[in-house]
């Protein structure tokens, strides 16, 4: 039984009770939350999350990392946001960068795609060139501009994307150690 992602109790189609039921699927027997009344299956597929390594072209190519207002620690991380219905990944990351930093996006390229199983997400990470005045959204408490060689990565999710971007720029990624509330979350 998977414990990743939210656990729903009621069917979104008929409001019947969901239960863990094993059925034979294309890939074999699989236990999922299912509705006995209408046959609904909660697939619990990972949610796409867009992430940006922002290079500020009008600030010497320094990298903008931001600290989320909801975080207690001092970690500065990538700009991220959920992909929305009706947009391409490229449109989505341009929207997120604009909403969260007010920067204007000039160019972007895919860094790569990573799993983030603890949150049942898939990280789609872009390198983004942007310029303009920085105005943070209320979600973000503060930002810092880093020279690429000063950036520190973290061993999860978007941290791997940042490391891959550093390698593409000829820098050896340096990782910081993070406390891990859930040792099972470590996939690397
Ligand atoms: Zn149902």
Angle at 146 between CA 73 and CA 136, to 5 degrees: 65
The CA 11 to ligand 1 mean position distance, Å, reads: 5
Task: Give pLDDT < 70 ranges for the chain.
Answer: 1-6, 178-188
- Confidence at residue 75, expressed as pLDDT on a 0 to 100 scale: 84
DSSP letters spanning the chain = ----S----B-TTT-PBEEEEEEEETTEEEEEEEETTT--EE--PPEEEEEEEEEEGGGTTEEEEEEETT-SS---B-EEEE--TT--HHHHHHHHHHHHH-PEEEEEEEEEEEEEGGGTEEEEEEEEEEES-----TTEEEEEEE-GGG-EE-SSHHHHHHHHHHHHTT---EEPP---S-GGG---
Asked if residues 21 and 28 have their Cβ atoms less than 8 Å apart, the reply is no
The CA 17 to ligand 1 mean position distance, Å, reads: 7
Please state, in angstroms and rounded to a whole number, the distance separating the CA atoms of residues 42 and 6.
11
- Confidence at residue 70, expressed as pLDDT on a 0 to 100 scale: 86
List pLDDT tens digits, range 105-153: 999 999 999 999 999 999 999 999 999 999 999 999 999 999 999 999 9
The CA 19 to ligand 1 mean position distance, Å, reads: 11
The CA 8 to ligand 1 mean position distance, Å, reads: 12
Asked if residues 81 and 52 have their Cβ atoms less than 8 Å apart, the reply is no
Query: Which residues place a Cβ less than 5 A from the ion ligand 1?
Result: 11, 13-14, 16, 35, 37-38, 40
- Confidence at residue 73, expressed as pLDDT on a 0 to 100 scale: 76
The CA 18 to ligand 1 mean position distance, Å, reads: 8
The CA 39 to ligand 1 mean position distance, Å, reads: 6
């Amino acid at each position: 039984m998977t414990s990743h992602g939210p656990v729903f109790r009621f069917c979104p189609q008929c409001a019947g009770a969901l239960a863990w039921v094993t059925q034979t699927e294309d890939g074999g027997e699989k236990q999922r939350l299912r509705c006995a009344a209408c046959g609904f299956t909660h697939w619990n597929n990972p949610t796409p999350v867009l992430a940006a390594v922002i290079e500020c072209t009008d600030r010497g190519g320094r990298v903008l990392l931001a600290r989320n207002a909801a975080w207690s620690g001092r970690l500065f991380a990538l700009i991220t946001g959920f992909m929305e219905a009706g947009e391409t990944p490229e449109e989505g990351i341009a929207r997120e960068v604009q909403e969260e930093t007010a920067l204007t996006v000039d160019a972007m390229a895919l860094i790569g795609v990573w799993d983030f199983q603890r949150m049942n997400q898939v990280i789609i990470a872009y390198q983004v060139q942007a310029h303009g005045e920085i105005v943070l959204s209320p979600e973000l408490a503060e930002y810092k501009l880093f020279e690429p060689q000063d950036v520190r990565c973290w061993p999860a999710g978007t941290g791997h994307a940042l490391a891959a971007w550093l390698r593409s720029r000829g820098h050896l990624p340096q990782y910081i150690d993070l406390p891990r509330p859930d040792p099972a979350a470590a996939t690397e």
